[in-house]
């Protein structure tokens, strides 16, 4: 049997604290736990003042106590704050103008990042902790994130990314007294070791070559020297922009998005059969076999019935064929922007409760918090990455070797 570890707080002290008290009420509001938090905080403040007075040679001494109510994640607590004669004591645990206990702001930000609206957070704090806070306080706490967003959006990046996934979600943002649908573009970079990171967020109502050139030049200014393969969802103007910024980059269209677009032309009863017919194209051995399968689809019954599908594939064909250079076990990585689709589902859940955002800044603030939470789960590269590295080393040669040695 494993030996029981000695408790951090001796049992004798805990027994003394619980003596004569109902253990069931220990976690209630103003119960033993809240009382202990209050006592420990006041004791720490006294110790801070002792240290302050010990360093003061000017005859400074204690001058009673002031009262302050602070908000904690368990309710409000009234503290006795020690004072000194010269009013030079500025406690670090609870600062002079601080009205919230350390950790309280993080709780608000965590709820906001989970998609809760300002009103929902106010109601949540009231119902669970009996705390009355204003919507303005919630906004003030979350607005502090904007500085982090700016620093994050301008941080240095890796010199080379073997893969970059780009996609967009639509959100409603108030603009000049009108609520408009704007696209929030997300870029995910995959490093040579297979780990991922979000490179940035960009808001634009209308995308085009000029917009994408600005985004790509921003990545260049942040240190990105080369992108080997960009997987995109038919972004308007992107191929032209990346040809100007990164002329050696291969652009691969997202196959799943192309399939979804194809299904828009088919009726519900036809979709399963059409999807099966299209599978012969993207499941082909190589690009020549794939083009032959596309031609067969176009002249077949489903291609003739839904001619727009074949035309859609033809328009995107130059961005489809890079996919076929890889073996099947590697194609799954390039098959879709799944890495970004999973992220987008989290972003959509977060924005769904908002209805619309008052401005671009509010949208970026929320999405940044969601992204921060999501990135913490990105610990392992995909299973296929080892095989993908071997293929990329052959395909891209020295360019991929530089990414591995960076």
Position 221 scores a pLDDT of 94
User: Which of 65, 64, 125, 128 minimizes the C-alpha distance to 100?
Assistant: 125
The pLDDT of 43-71, averaged and rounded, is: 76
Distance CA 211, CA 217 (A): 10
For 331-368, the DSSP string reads HHHHH--HHHHHHHHHHHHHHHTTSSBSSHHHHHHHHH
Mark which of 113, 145, 177 sits at the end of a domain: 145
80 shares its domain with 189 = no
User: Which of 174, 204, 173 minimizes the C-alpha distance to 186?
Assistant: 204
18 falls within a domain: no
Position 13 scores a pLDDT of 59
The pLDDT of 117-136, averaged and rounded, is: 72
| Lowest mean pLDDT, pick from 108-117, 248-257, 295-304 | 108-117
User: Token pair of 245, please?
Assistant: 């910024």
User: Token pair of 387, please?
Assistant: 């095989």
185 shares its domain with 322 = yes
Mark which of 115, 145, 175 sits at the end of a domain: 145
Number of domains in the chain: 2
User: Which of 51, 107, 50, 39 minimizes the C-alpha distance to 79?
Assistant: 39
92 shares its domain with 168 = no
Neighbours of 382 (CB within 10 A): 16
Distance CA 36, CA 13 (A): 12
pLDDT at 293 over 90: yes
46 falls within a domain: yes
The pLDDT of 310-339, averaged and rounded, is: 79
pLDDT at 3 over 60: no
Position 46 scores a pLDDT of 75
Mark which of 145, 179, 206 sits at the end of a domain: 145
Q: What angle do CA 169, 380, 148 make, to 5 degrees?
A: 50
Domain that holds residue 187: 158-405
37 shares its domain with 135 = yes
1 falls within a domain: no
334 shares its domain with 209 = yes
382 shares its domain with 237 = yes
- pLDDT per position as a tens digit, 15-39: 655 666 666 665 566 666 666 666 6
17 falls within a domain: no
131 shares its domain with 230 = no
Position 1 scores a pLDDT of 44
Position 95 scores a pLDDT of 67
The pLDDT of 255-277, averaged and rounded, is: 89
For residues 101 and 77, is the Cβ–Cβ distance under 8 A?
Answer: yes
Burial profile 14-37: b = 16 or more Cβ within 10 angstroms, e = fewer: eeeeeeeeeeeeeeeeebbebeeb
For residues 175 and 203, is the Cβ–Cβ distance under 8 A?
Answer: no
- How far apart, in Å, are the Cα atoms of 309 and each of 165, 291, 299, 319? 24, 14, 12, 16
Distance CA 182, CA 173 (A): 7
Distance CA 375, CA 155 (A): 16
- pLDDT per position as a tens digit, 78-93: 777 888 888 887 776 6
User: Token pair of 247, please?
Assistant: 């002329």
52 falls within a domain: yes
Position 181 scores a pLDDT of 85
167 shares its domain with 126 = no
Could you tell me which residues are beta bridge partners of residue 299? none
pLDDT at 98 over 90: no
Look-up: residue for tokens 């033993």?
32
309 falls within a domain: yes
Q: Does pTM top 0.85 for this prediction?
A: no
The pLDDT of 355-364, averaged and rounded, is: 81
360 shares its domain with 238 = yes
Q: What angle do CA 380, 324, 298 make, to 5 degrees?
A: 130
Structure letter (DSSP) for residue 145: H
365 falls within a domain: yes
187 shares its domain with 312 = yes
Distance CA 324, CA 285 (A): 7
125 shares its domain with 162 = no
Share of the chain above pLDDT 70, in %: 79
Question: Average pLDDT over the chain, rounded to whole?
Answer: 79
7 falls within a domain: no
Position 155 scores a pLDDT of 92
- pLDDT per position as a tens digit, 370-391: 887 777 777 777 777 887 888 8
127 shares its domain with 178 = no
């Amino acid at each position: 049997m494993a030996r029981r570890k000695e408790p951090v707080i001796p049992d004798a002290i805990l027994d003394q604290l619980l003596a004569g008290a109902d253990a069931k009420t220990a976690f209630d509001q103003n119960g033993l736990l809240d009382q202990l938090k209050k006592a420990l905080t006041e004791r720490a403040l006294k110790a801070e003042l002792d240290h302050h007075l010990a360093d003061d040679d000017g005859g400074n001494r204690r001058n009673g106590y002031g009262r302050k109510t602070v908000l904690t994640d368990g309710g409000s607590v009234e503290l006795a704050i020690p004072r000194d004669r010269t009013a030079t004591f500025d406690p670090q645990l609870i600062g002079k103008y601080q009205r919230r206990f350390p950790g309280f702001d993080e709780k608000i930000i965590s709820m906001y990042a989970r998609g809760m609206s300002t009103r929902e957070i106010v109601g949540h704090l009231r119902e669970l902790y009996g705390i009355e806070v204003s919507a303005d306080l919630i906004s003030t706490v979350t607005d502090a994130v904007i500085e982090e967003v700016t620093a994050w959006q301008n941080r240095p990046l890796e010199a080379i990314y073997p893969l970059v996934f780009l996609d967009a979600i639509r959100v409603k943002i108030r603009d000049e007294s009108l609520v408009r649908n704007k696209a929030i573009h997300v870029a995910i970079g995959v490093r040579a070791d297979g780990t991922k990171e979000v490179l940035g967020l960009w808001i634009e109502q209308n995308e085009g070559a000029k917009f994408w050139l600005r985004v790509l030049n921003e990545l260049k200014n942040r240190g990105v020297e080369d992108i080997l393969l960009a997987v995109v969802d038919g972004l308007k103007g992107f191929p032209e922009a990346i040809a100007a910024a990164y002329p050696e980059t291969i652009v691969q269209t997202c196959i799943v998005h192309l399939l979804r677009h194809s299904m828009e032309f088919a009726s519900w009863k036809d979709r399963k059969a059409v999807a099966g017919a299209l599978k012969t194209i993207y499941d082909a051995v190589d690009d020549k076999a794939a083009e032959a399968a596309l031609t067969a689809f176009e002249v077949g019954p489903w291609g003739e019935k839904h001619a727009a599908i074949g035309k859609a594939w033809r328009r995107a064909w130059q961005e489809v064929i890079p996919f076929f250079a890889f073996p099947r076990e590697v194609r799954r990585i390039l098959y879709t922007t799944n890495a970004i689709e999973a992220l987008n589902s989290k972003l959509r859940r977060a924005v769904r409760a908002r209805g619309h955002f008052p401005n671009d800044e509010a949208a970026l603030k929320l999405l940044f918090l969601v992204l921060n939470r999501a990135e913490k789960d990105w610990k392992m590269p995909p299973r296929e990455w080892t095989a993908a590295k071997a293929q990329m080393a052959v395909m891209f040669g020295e360019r991929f070797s530089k990414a591995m040695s960076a």
